[in-house]
Structure 1
């Protein structure tokens, strides 16, 4: 059975990504461009979203892989992953990301010419941040490609041996209210041991915390969707309990950040609470989505197709707008609103008139080549590259 709630979650979470990247322009955290005035308190809602935003995307991606493998052989799946992930990554690194680096170099006075003096002659010299070649926000694509290639033999085994012990254990855990909370312990170990030694870089090489953490969540997504209604009934029935767990978990995190002195004991406590909080919100979101969003409409069909191109385009639009707004004497609300609506609006125009209608352009942004006038549920591609049956 098709799960429209996963389609909705994919659209919603990637829409949140636009708000998040606009927010990065205004908070004290490291980012490619910064506003002339920073707003430290804006980090609190962003910290809340940070707890589950990327983890749930990898879980959804694992679920999508289950549907893709249900209709394809292992070879066909691998071929499609390379086509749908590597080609947009290459196009993005050649044409979409360089304007971001260009405006960053202008803002720091490391470069002073026009764009075509920067691209292509200087755009691909050296690796970012010392050089200019980068995948920036498109890091999700190579990570997802590598996870898919590594895990496909295991996924095929699980697909062809449905009575194996792992899936039986997952089904037993999913049958009880808190059974699936046993899955937080690997996340706790990664947070407590790997995270301090391998800070997040999204550079692939040496990014061990992200690699191991996200491949685990990707794997969790596959095994959870494999037990089907057992999982969905549990998260729907106990969604309010999981919501309470999430509220308590994030509240405790705030207490740790704001009140407690740093010590080894507090650090391990924070790591455990982080894992608990992340998983609570993932279970909450799945529960409420399954209860209220498992229906289709025309907007969802259109949005599902547009999500992948929007993801590829959006940060370049955001940074371009930010460069021209960063030194204006405007308030937070004015700049934030203009950047959000501008990012959505300009990305929509580029997608609708520059990508969607052109069959030779569509594959460059991860879309199927056939021109769609009204995307059906069977035709729409997914940013997480699932193909639900």
Structure 2
């Protein structure tokens, strides 16, 4: 009933995982672009537009529930691969080069450019968003305290590094031997029992935050994010050593997809009818349960279908995978720069969304092709030159 753990070859390539990482990052670009036209995000998004639609909410928040969980599964998977290929020290060195150094370089550029764009919007835009209307008098008041800086959309980088360090700590303390009983218990479960039980372990973390769960952008690690995304990182780390589990789940993929859609539909309905009112304990428990199951099941669905359809070397997908890190790093200031002038333009929300998304992706990929690919900056972000065949592990946890 349960297949033994399968150890992949150290030089084996996992194209589907690298492609899933890229898709998770590009979905983040779509998500952040769509927030300007979301009803739920309207009160707190800087470039929130007058045009809003529940259609945007239906798609955007669905992606939100599983795009970062999927990313952390991929990050854990490739952390395990790097440990096997290079040892624990090699893994930590690789992650420092691909994660911490880019964070140190790009965070100041992203943070200060976004601050400048927000100030520009407050000065030049007539139809300010609700959040900018709150920020405007605060900025005009010289006595107002300075807002603490945030990591913005780069918050995931230190969390990935933190989880890699915890892997090293667990290895040093030989926790795998102390917790062997837990591994044995998990291995004895049928695949569907794991599918049903794991989301329950995610619920305590989600109880600590409102629904939909926010991005932990603070410079200080948040315990709920450590537990929540750490669980997904651990799932990915174990998945590398037990890849046959995905084969066992393949037959259940359509069922998991259908259940995910039903759970999300109920989640969105309850969220919508509750409005801005803080939910009571029973409703909060239902929302947490629906988020946990939708996110986990859809993460599994993506991995199953990704392994089925994306596990091959393809020139176009390889290019997208190589470019995705750069695209994600720079996309949010681009979105702000494009959407701020559109706030005063009288166009349908769908036109504005299409224009801002196409312009953001076009500029991001063009700058990658002209200034990053095959150049020193490309090597800095992706390791070895990405023009030729490269190991799919090089950027997958970046």
Q: State if a TM-score over 0.5 links the two structures.
A: yes
Q: Which secondary structure does the structure 2 equivalent of 1:241 belong to? A: helix
Q: How does 1:182-197 map to 2 (within 5 A)?
A: 182-192=197-207, 194-195=208-209
Q: Distance in 2 between matches of 1:332 and 1:147?
A: 39
Q: Is the 8 A contact 1:55 1:217 kept in 2?
A: yes
CA 1:24 to 1:254, structure 2 compared with 1: closer, same or farther past 3 Å? closer
Counterpart for residue 308 of structure 1: 325
Measured after TM superposition, the shift of residue 36 of structure 1 is: 4.1
Counterpart for residue 357 of structure 1: 374
Instruction: Tell which has more relative contact order, 1 or 2 (C-alpha 8 A, sep 6+).
Output: 2
Q: Distance in 2 between matches of 1:31 and 1:188?
A: 26
Q: Of 12, 16, 27, which residue of structure 2 is paired with 1:5?
A: 16
User: Are residues 1:172 and 2:188 paired?
Assistant: yes
| Residues 214-265 of structure 1, C-alpha deviations (whole Å, 9 max, x = no match) | 1121112111222121x12122121112112212221332343355794322
User: Are residues 1:331 and 2:342 paired?
Assistant: no
Q: Distance in 1 between matches of 2:307 and 2:196?
A: 19
TM-score (normalizing by structure 2): 0.81
| Residues 188-229 of structure 1, C-alpha deviations (whole Å, 9 max, x = no match) | 12223x225997542042622222211121112111222121
Q: How does 1:212-231 map to 2 (within 5 A)?
A: 212-229=227-244, 231=245
Q: Is the 8 A contact 2:17 2:396 kept in 1?
A: no
Q: Is the 8 A contact 1:88 1:363 kept in 2?
A: no
Q: Which secondary structure does the structure 2 equivalent of 1:279 belong to? A: helix
Number of residues paired by the alignment?
A: 361
Q: Which secondary structure does the structure 1 equivalent of 2:78 belong to? A: helix
Counterpart for residue 286 of structure 1: 303
CA 1:299 to 1:34, structure 2 compared with 1: closer, same or farther past 3 Å? same
Q: Which secondary structure does the structure 2 equivalent of 1:295 belong to? A: coil
Q: Distance in 2 between matches of 1:206 and 1:380?
A: 26
Q: Distance in 1 between matches of 2:310 and 2:204?
A: 33
CA 1:49 to 1:75, structure 2 compared with 1: closer, same or farther past 3 Å? same
Q: Please list every run of 5 or more consecutive structure 1 residues that lacks an aligned counterpart in the other structure.
A: 112-128
Higher mean C-alpha deviation, range 307-316 or range 150-159: 150-159
Q: Is the 8 A contact 1:26 1:34 kept in 2?
A: yes
Counterpart for residue 361 of structure 2: 344
Q: Is the 8 A contact 2:98 2:395 kept in 1?
A: no
User: Are residues 1:269 and 2:289 paired?
Assistant: no
Q: Please list every run of 5 or more consecutive structure 2 residues that lacks an aligned counterpart in the other structure.
A: 1-11, 126-144
Counterpart for residue 136 of structure 1: 152
Measured after TM superposition, the shift of residue 322 of structure 1 is: 1.3
Measured after TM superposition, the shift of residue 293 of structure 1 is: 2.2
Q: Which secondary structure does the structure 1 equivalent of 2:325 belong to? A: helix
Q: Distance in 2 between matches of 1:109 and 1:212?
A: 41
Counterpart for residue 37 of structure 1: 51
Q: Distance in 2 between matches of 1:290 and 1:371?
A: 25
Measured after TM superposition, the shift of residue 102 of structure 1 is: 0.8
Measured after TM superposition, the shift of residue 346 of structure 1 is: 0.6
CA 1:201 to 1:233, structure 2 compared with 1: closer, same or farther past 3 Å? closer
Q: Distance in 2 between matches of 1:196 and 1:318?
A: 25
Q: Distance in 2 between matches of 1:196 and 1:133?
A: 21
Counterpart for residue 9 of structure 2: none
User: Are residues 1:381 and 2:394 paired?
Assistant: yes
Q: Which secondary structure does the structure 1 equivalent of 2:336 belong to? A: helix
Measured after TM superposition, the shift of residue 32 of structure 1 is: 3.0
Q: Of 71, 86, 90, which residue of structure 2 is paired with 1:76?
A: 90
Q: Of 95, 108, 122, which residue of structure 2 is paired with 1:94?
A: 108
Q: Is the 8 A contact 1:246 1:280 kept in 2?
A: yes
Measured after TM superposition, the shift of residue 325 of structure 1 is: 2.1
Q: Which secondary structure does the structure 1 equivalent of 2:17 belong to? A: helix
Q: Which secondary structure does the structure 2 equivalent of 1:305 belong to? A: helix
Q: Which runs of 4+ in 1 moved over 6 A?
A: 156-161
TM-score (normalizing by structure 1): 0.83
Measured after TM superposition, the shift of residue 89 of structure 1 is: 0.7
Measured after TM superposition, the shift of residue 178 of structure 1 is: 3.2
